[in-house]
Structure 1
Amino acid sequence: MTTRRAFLTQAGLFTAGALLLPRLSSAKINGKAGLQLYSLREQLPKDPKAVIAKIAEAGYKEVETYGYSKEHGFFGLSAKEFSDVLKANGLTTPSGHYGMDRLFVDGTFGELDEAIEAARITGQEYVTIPYLNEKFRKTKADLKNVAAKINLAAARAKKAGIKLAYHNHNFEFDNIEGTCLYEVLAKETTIALEMDLYWAVRSKQDPIEWFEKYPGRFTMVHVKDMDKAEPELNTEVGKGSIDFKKIFAKSKTAGIKHFIVEQENFKIDPYVSIAESSKYLKTVLFA
Structure 2
Amino acid sequence: MPIGIVPWTLRHQLFTAEQVENTYKKLQELGFDGVESGLGSSAGLSADEDLAMMQKYGLRPCSVYCDISKPEEAIATAKKYGVTTLGIPAIPGIMMRRAEGFYAYAERINKMVEPFRGSGIRLQYHNHSQEFRNFPEENGKTGLQILIENTDPELVCFELDVFWASAAGCDPAEWIRRLKGRIPIVHYKDMGVDCTSEVTGLGDVPRVFMEVGQGNLNWKEITAACREAGCVWYNIEQDQTKRPIFESIKLSIDYMRNVLDIR
Indicate yes or no: 2:30 matched with 1:58: yes
Q: Contact 2:158–2:179 (CA<8 Å) still a contact in 1?
A: no
* Structure 2: gaps of 5 or more residues: 196-205
* Pairing of 1:251-266 with structure 2 (within 5 A): 251-266=226-241
Q: Contact 1:221–1:256 (CA<8 Å) still a contact in 2?
A: yes
The farther-off stretch of 189-198 and 146-155 is 146-155
Post-superposition offset of 1:148? 1.2
CA distance in 2, matches of 1:131, 1:272: 31
Partner of 1:247: 222
Aligned residue-pair number: 244
Distance 1:212 1:58, change over 3 A: closer
CA distance in 1, matches of 2:63, 2:106: 20
* Pairing of 1:147-166 with structure 2 (within 5 A): 147-166=106-125
The sequence identity of aligned pairs, in percent, is 31
Partner of 1:198: 163
CA distance in 1, matches of 2:100, 2:219: 35
TM-score if structure 1 supplies the norm length?
0.77
Distance 1:164 1:52, change over 3 A: same
* Structure 1: gaps of 5 or more residues: 1-30, 101-108
Residues 223-253 of structure 1: per-residue CA shift (max 9 Å, x gap): 0011233653211111111111111112232
| Alignment root-mean-square deviation, CA | 2.3
CA distance in 2, matches of 1:158, 1:79: 25
Partner of 1:8: none
Post-superposition offset of 1:74? 5.9
Three-state SS of the structure 2 residue aligned to 1:41 is helix
TM-score if structure 2 supplies the norm length?
0.84
Match of 2:64 among 84, 93, 96: 96
Post-superposition offset of 1:115? 4.3
Q: Contact 1:38–1:66 (CA<8 Å) still a contact in 2?
A: no
CA distance in 2, matches of 1:88, 1:183: 41
Residues 35-83 of structure 1: per-residue CA shift (max 9 Å, x gap): 0011011111232222222222221111113799xxxx56411111111
Residues 179-232 of structure 1: per-residue CA shift (max 9 Å, x gap): 322001110112111110000011111122223434222221100011233653
User: Post-superposition, which runs of at least 4 consecutive aligned residues in structure 1 deviate over 6 A?
Assistant: none
Residues 74-99 of structure 1: per-residue CA shift (max 9 Å, x gap): 64111111111111010011113457
